[in-house]
Homo-oligomer: A and B are copies of this chain.
Amino acid sequence: MANETSETLPVRISRILAERIISGQLEPGARLRQDHVAVEFGASHVPVREAFQRLEAQGLAVSEPRRGVRVAAFDLREVREVAEMRAALEVLALRHAGPHLTRAILDEAEEATRAGDNSPDVRAWEDANRRFHRLIVTPCAMPRLLAAIDDLHAASARFLFSAWRSDWEARTDHDHRAILAALRTGQVEEAAAILARHVQWIGSKPVRTAAGGTRDVFAIQG
């Protein structure tokens, strides 16, 4: 059982399953059967069980006592909840990160914003977006806070991927640029205010469906 990386088996399994849940490959309500997952990864029940518990802690799965574990469902209410928690916590993190932000970090964040604007698909955009947000809050050096924010990002990304399945058009992210501009001039509070609005902004946006019609899709930014 040559573990090429030092990553422990339950962590590996939970990480891969999390990717599938976030990407929408595993749909909400889908059952996660431990034997099936076990044989897929060539492992036994025990590590799979621990992986499930990890997913549950992240809010990506729910486990009913003797009835197995399912991919967590999420409704608009929970999306709003996650967005508001993100707003509250990322603002807190940014306030503490502010004094430790260097020009190099801000340049990297700007590069991430450009990468987001030029993204060919949602996946690439999400990756760049997350990179931006992580860059500007990481210097707060509050591990517990950053871990919580990461989990919330995962939940956000999940919703994002479920909204835009196929059609997607990149557009320039003005909020990111405004945040960077404020940070470059040392206006941390101004940047935090924009960030709060930016993360929390949830509206609806008409999207062309495959059939040619339009439907309303909730749009989350950030």
Q: How far is the CA of A154 from the CA of B98 in the complex (A)?
A: 29
| A142 cross-chain contacts in B, Cβ below 8 A | 81, 84
The answer to whether B92 touches A84, judged by C-beta atoms less than 8 angstroms apart, is: yes
Whether a CB of chain B sits under 8 angstroms from the CB of A8 is yes
Q: Which residues of B contact A54 (CB under 8 A)?
A: 53, 57
**A35 lies within 8 A of chain B by Cβ:** no
What is the interface of chain A mostly: helix, strand, loop, or mixed?
helix
Question: Do the beta carbons of B78 and A144 come within 8 Å of each other?
Answer: yes
| Complex alpha-carbon distance, A65 and B81, angstroms | 33
B53 x A145 contact (CB < 8 A): no
Interface residues of chain A, those whose CB is within 8 Å of chain B, are: 6, 8, 10, 46, 49-50, 53-54, 57, 59, 65, 78, 81-82, 84-85, 88-89, 91-92, 142-145, 148
Given contacts A50-B53, A84-B92, A85-B148, 19 further A-B contacts (CB under 8 A): A8-B65, A10-B53, A46-B46, A46-B49, A49-B50, A50-B50, A53-B53, A53-B54, A53-B57, A54-B57, A59-B144, A78-B144, A81-B143, A82-B144, A85-B92, A85-B144, A85-B145, A88-B88, A88-B91
24 contacts between A and B (CB under 8 A): A6-B65, A8-B65, A10-B53, A46-B46, A49-B50, A50-B50, A50-B53, A53-B53, A54-B57, A57-B57, A78-B144, A81-B143, A81-B144, A81-B145, A82-B144, A84-B92, A84-B142, A84-B145, A85-B89, A85-B92, A88-B89, A88-B91, A88-B92, A89-B89
